[in-house]
Chains A and B, each alone.
Chain A
Amino acid sequence: MTAANPILLPGQSRHGARVLIGVAVVLSILFIAAPLVFIFARAFAQGWGVYVSNILHPMTLHAIWLTTLVAIIVVPLNVAFGIAAAWAVAKHRFPGRGLLVTMIEIPFSISPIIAGICYLLLYGRQGLLGPWLQANEVQVMFALPGIVLVTMFVTAPFVAREVLPLMQAQGTEQEQAAVTLGANGWQIFRRVTLPNIRWALLYGAVLCTARAVGEFGGVSVVSGNIRGQTNTLPLHVELLFNDLNAVGAFAAASTLTLIAILALFVKAALEGRR
């Protein structure tokens, strides 16, 4: 479509197009590609051996484990929420649909720091539920539940955002046909809806994973940064950086970067299928 389009605006000439492409490529290399490449350049600055020993450091390994654990808890919950929200909004009509969509997007525009503060005001020692939690000896803040909750807040829109537009575009005809043929709700979802949305769902889950493992601001408010206990991988990166262990910080950062690159590959692979 675009290749056949003979118009090259502005700079209708081929020369103008070359200039624009050149500027775009150079800017993107300097602005986006360089920081990405630089992470690996610094992580391997002292060789492969130092890199491996940095990754295998017990504190780093613990941070990797904690971050993985958070993702394992958060991502399935988020997938379930995303599917439920998309099913409710895309397949049914009810008053307040628009409002619901806006509400789902709220975490997207709220700073994670604010999310962290909200949770602290709710579950913290001086928080609204603080006295009750203390009386029942439930530790939410500065522990795993707090980290999980904030990550759930921050990642809430990710799956819904990918699945909802697709479900809306696909309409309800196929599902209605299934109802007519006597299928029950679960059968409709498994046999009709899920195959239609699986790639968008997978992409949403991958994005959610990338965001969950990378969450920094919100987690840094609620985790208390206890070394070897509530230090997630992004917090560990900051800690190493503040300890002036730049190579260690970049080594830890490189693992997170790999997850980000993996997410982009999944996106590229799925693009043709959707």
Chain B
Amino acid sequence: MSVIAAPIRAKRVLPGFTLSLGTTLLYLTLIVLIPVAALVLKGAEMGPERFWRIVSSPRAVAAFQITLAAAVIATVFNAVYGVLMAWVLVRYEFPGKRLLDALMDVPFALPTAVAGLSLTALFSANGWFGAVLHPAGIPVVYTIWGIALAMAFTSVPFVVRTVQPVLEDMDPALEQAAITLGARPWAVFFRVVCPAILPAWLAGCTTAFARSLGEFGAIVFIAGNLPFQTEIAALLAYIRLEEFDYNGASAIALVLLGFALVLLLTSNLLQFWAARAREGAR
């Protein structure tokens, strides 16, 4: 039976393969690949020496450092907050749970410029939070903390939404067995739950980190955009464009592109690992 079935399955039964693949490749080539190739070509045209001079200039280095530092702060916060939210949303029943779950999608749906505008006003001296934080000597707006805040806001769903399905899929019998064997609750969490959600959690954090590195809309409002202090890499690239310094903009953009592609690859590998781990757990 299976001997006969194999060749039939191998043959293309369903129509539309050429049309659908052709459309997909054409769209991707025109909209994504050629424009990205234009950037890579610009980098090649520039040559390594010039590229390096732009990228290693003090202002660019400062911008990269600020971007990385803020993205690390944002990702660490989201790593904890995201798991907490996924855990609470999967494991407990309480009034308002569905609303809380819907709230986790707000940063995805809300335009980044609107988020940036709102966070800036909220944390400035006459906003709801700023009115409390400013007198206490904790300025958020126009500091690296503001940048991290904007990054954290726009990237938090990545962690929640990658960890949540894994927690939902987890077999409670594993934890019950651990408890039966006398493990304390925290020991069960760290030795049973953590290993199970680790690949998905890392994948979510990687995507959140990548998103934070490239975030622009939310940050330009809150950062104050002072060179060497609160100027992020994406903004520096934008400023170089406005100065018609296309080489400067392209070099910085290429570095960000490199980061993005490496992180995308990492996240995909982690998700692959997560999928295998999930299948193994079933």
Which B residues lie at the A interface, using CB under 8 A?
A: 12-17, 19-21, 23-24, 27-28, 31-36, 38-39, 41-42, 81, 84-85, 87-88, 90-94, 96, 98, 100, 102-115, 117-119, 121-122, 127-129, 152-153, 156, 168, 172, 175-176, 179, 185-186, 188-189, 193, 207, 210-211, 213-217, 220-221, 234, 237-238, 241, 246, 249-250, 253, 256-257, 260-261, 263-265, 267-268
Contact = CB atoms under 8 A, between A and B. Distances in A.
B32 A217 contact: no
Closest 10 CB pairs of A and B: A214-B111, A111-B214, A216-B217, A185-B15, A118-B35, A217-B216, A260-B109, A84-B23, A88-B20, A35-B118
A81 B24 contact: yes
Interface in A175-225: 175-176, 179, 184-185, 188-189, 207, 210, 213-217, 220-221
A109 B106 contact: no
B92 A216 contact: no
Given A21-B88, A253-B114, A11 B185 contact: yes
Contacts of A127: 38
Interface string A88-116: 11011010000010111111111111110
A75 interface: no
Contacts of A20: 84, 87-88, 92
A98 to B, nearest CB: 8
Contacts of B267: 109
Contacts of B111: 210, 213-216, 234, 253, 256, 260
A88 B21 contact: yes
A9 B217 contact: no
A156 B238 contact: no
A260 B193 CA distance: 34
29 contacts: A2-B92, A5-B91, A9-B91, A12-B179, A24-B84, A24-B100, A39-B118, A84-B27, A85-B23, A85-B24, A87-B16, A87-B20, A88-B21, A92-B14, A92-B17, A103-B28, A108-B264, A111-B234, A111-B260, A112-B217, A113-B237, A119-B35, A121-B35, A172-B13, A238-B220, A256-B114, A257-B114, A260-B109, A264-B102
Contact of A5 (B15, B106, B109, B172): B172
Interface stretch (A26-34, A47-55, A57-65): A26-34
Given A39-B118, A253-B117, A121 B221 contact: no
A108 B155 CA distance: 12
Interface residues of A, number: 102
Contacts, number: 294
Contacts of B92: 2, 8, 17, 20-21
Nearest to A235: B113
A217 B112 contact: yes
A244 to B, nearest CB: 12
Given A20-B84, A28-B100, 19 more contacts: A5-B91, A28-B103, A31-B81, A35-B153, A81-B23, A92-B21, A103-B28, A110-B36, A110-B257, A111-B215, A113-B237, A114-B257, A118-B38, A120-B241, A121-B250, A152-B31, A188-B15, A217-B234, A238-B221
Given A113-B238, A216-B112, A264-B102, A121 B179 contact: no
Contact of B32 (A21, A39, A106): A106
A260 B84 CA distance: 24
A51 B267 CA distance: 44
Given A28-B103, A106-B264, A263 B109 contact: yes
